[in-house]
Amino acid sequence: MTDTRDTQPRMGFFTDTSVCIGCKACEVACKEWNAVPGPAGSAGLNFTGDSYDNTGGLGADTWRHVAFIEQRTPPGGQENIGSTVDLGMPGMPGEHDRSEFRWLMASDVCKHCTHAACLDVCPTGALFRTEFGTVVVQEDICNGCGYCVPACPYGVIDQREDDGRVWKCTMCYDRLGAGQEPACAKACPTDSIQFGELDVLRARADERLAQLHEAGVGDARLYGRDPADGVGGNGAFFLLLDEPEVYGLPPAPVVTTRDLPAMWRRAGAAAATLLVGLAATFLGRKR
């Protein structure tokens, strides 16, 4: 059989948060297509009190999460980006003391890292790299050991309470195999979530960033686009309008298993030294 990974271009997501309207169509489409259940032990979503966010974050039962970050005053040059409202209400700043307010909205997902620590630590092969360059969990092989959970630098992978197996975004692997785009990208009404060949998306993201900078949006930046970063670049990267920490993303993620080869080499050298010492002791006693 021909290895399609040699001919199939790597696929990925580019999420442009500057046009996200927080509709959550991606969350719904993801749950419906992949039959992702609601929160364990709950009749449904709970009120978090965190703006309009009712899912809280990525997890075994939330493969797409739309974050709502409330900011009182938009940073310089971003007054026309995102949703802003005048808080002219009784007891609140009014016409003569105007205070602007905006939401930074972003649909988060598994990053499908180039150097994926979850793949390195999985003892059963339940996690594998597909022909599209994505990282997928085979739930029928996962034994629930949980090694991959702390290995993920983004805190994406999570275990379900009922059987301990891990679950996360598959980038709709079944749809890709049928020549279709992932459900979340298909459902996004503003093209905030764009799916396609990773190289094409990176070029498109560079153009979009330049466009925003030209428009005076100096805080716009790309996150996860650089192949030289700590995880080798992401298969799902983002255009952000503020620091990554504002969105709950690590500013400088590093693959957590980067030191494993050196550790194994040192362990092997130590074991070899120990064996030589034991052999020398044994032979000395024999004489």
Is 169 one of the annotated binding-site residues? yes
Is 134 one of the annotated binding-site residues? no
pLDDT at 195 > cutoff 80: yes
Q: What is the pLDDT of residues 25-52, one digit of tens each?
A: 999 999 999 999 876 545 456 666 667 7
Is 20 one of the annotated binding-site residues? yes
User: pLDDT band at 56, cuts 50/70/90?
Assistant: confident
3-state helix/strand/coil string of the chain: CCCHHHCCCCEEEEEEHHHCCCCCHHHHHHHHHHCCCCCCCCCCCCCCCECCECCCCCECCECCEEEEEEECCCCCCCCCCCEEEECCCCCCCCHHHCCEEEEEEEEECCCCECCCHHHHHCCCCCEEECCCCCEEECCCCCCCCCCHHHHCCCCCCEECCCCCCEECCCCCHHHHHCCCCCHHHHHCCCCCEEEEEHHHHHHHHHHHHHHHHHCCCCCCEEECCCCCCCCCCECEEEEECCCHHHHCCCCCCCCCCCCHHHHHHHHHHHHHHHHHHHHHHHHHHHC
Q: Report the pLDDT value the prediction gives residue 257, as an integer from 0 to 100.
A: 77
- Average pLDDT along the chain: 83
Task: Output the CA torsion sign for 78, 80, 84, 86.
Answer: positive
pLDDT at 92 > cutoff 50: no
Is 152 one of the annotated binding-site residues? yes
User: pLDDT band at 176, cuts 50/70/90?
Assistant: very high
Is 24 one of the annotated binding-site residues? no
Contact 175, 183 (CB under 8 A): yes
Average pLDDT over residues 164-185: 96
Is 110 one of the annotated binding-site residues? yes
Is 2 one of the annotated binding-site residues? no
How many whole angstroms separate alpha carbon 279 and alpha carbon 285? 10
Average pLDDT over residues 102-123: 93
Q: What is the pLDDT of residues 64-76, one digit of tens each?
A: 999 998 887 654 5
Question: For the whole model, what pTM was predicted?
Answer: 0.77
Is 9 one of the annotated binding-site residues? no
Q: Which phi and psi (to 5°) does residue 17 adopt? A: -70, -15
Q: Which has the minimum average pLDDT: 32-41, 156-165, 248-257? A: 32-41
Is 27 one of the annotated binding-site residues? no
Is 184 one of the annotated binding-site residues? yes
Is 78 one of the annotated binding-site residues? no
Is 8 one of the annotated binding-site residues? no
Q: Choose between 91 and 245: higher pLDDT.
A: 245
3-state helix/strand/coil string of 115-149: CCHHHHHCCCCCEEECCCCCEEECCCCCCCCCCHH
CATH 3.90.650.10 at 4-256, yes or no: no
pLDDT at 251 > cutoff 80: yes
Is 148 one of the annotated binding-site residues? yes
Percent of the chain with pLDDT over 70: 74
Q: Residues, the chain, total?
A: 287
Burial class, 224, CB count within 10 angstroms (exposed 0-12 / middle 13-18 / buried 19+): buried
Is 193 one of the annotated binding-site residues? no
